[in-house]
Amino acid sequence: MRNREIFDMHADDYGVSLNGAKDILDCLKQGALDSISVIPNMSCFGQCVERYQQEKETFPGEPLITVHLNIMDGSSVLPKEAVFDLVDKDGFFTLTWGKLFLLNYCFGKKKKRIKEQLKKEFQAQIEVVQNAFHLQEIRLDSHQHPHMIPFVFDILMEIISEKKVSVTFVRVAKEPLAPFLSHVSLYRTYTLSNLVKNVLLNLYSIRAVKKLQKKGLSYELMWGLMMSGYMDKERTQKLLPAMARVAKKKGKKLEILFHPGQMLERERTEEYRKEGFYQFYCSKNRQEEKRAVQNAVFSQE
pLDDT in tens, 223-245: 999 999 999 999 999 999 999 99
Beta sheet of 166-170, edge-to-edge order: 166-170, 137-142, 64-69, 35-38, 7-14, 254-258, 221-223
User: What are the sequence ranges of the domains in the chain?
Assistant: 7-294
Which bin fits 108, alpha (ψ -120 to 50), beta or left (φ > 0)?
left
Identify the burial level of 31 via C-beta atoms within 10 angstroms of its C-beta, where 0-12 means exposed, 13-18 middle and 19 or more buried.
middle
Percent residues over pLDDT 90 in the chain: 90
pTM of the predicted model, to two decimals?
A: 0.94
* CATH label, 7-294, candidates 1.20.120.10, 3.20.20.370, 3.60.15.10, 3.40.50.720: 3.20.20.370
Report the chain's mean pLDDT, rounded to a whole number. 93
Query: Using an 8 Å Cβ cutoff, are 277 and 92 in contact?
Result: no
Structural contact between residues 74 and 277, judged by C-beta atoms closer than 8 angstroms? no
Q: What is the dihedral of CA 84, 130, 37, 211, to 10 degrees?
A: 80
Q: How far is CA 84 from the centre of its chain?
A: 25
Predicted local confidence at residue 298, as pLDDT: 57
pLDDT at 100: 97
H/E element holding 7?
Answer: strand 7-14
Q: What is the pLDDT of residues 138-173, one digit of tens each?
A: 999 999 999 999 999 999 999 999 977 789 999 999
pLDDT over threshold 90, residue 111: yes
| Residue 296: predicted pLDDT | 78
Pairing relation of β-strands 221-223 and 64-69? unpaired
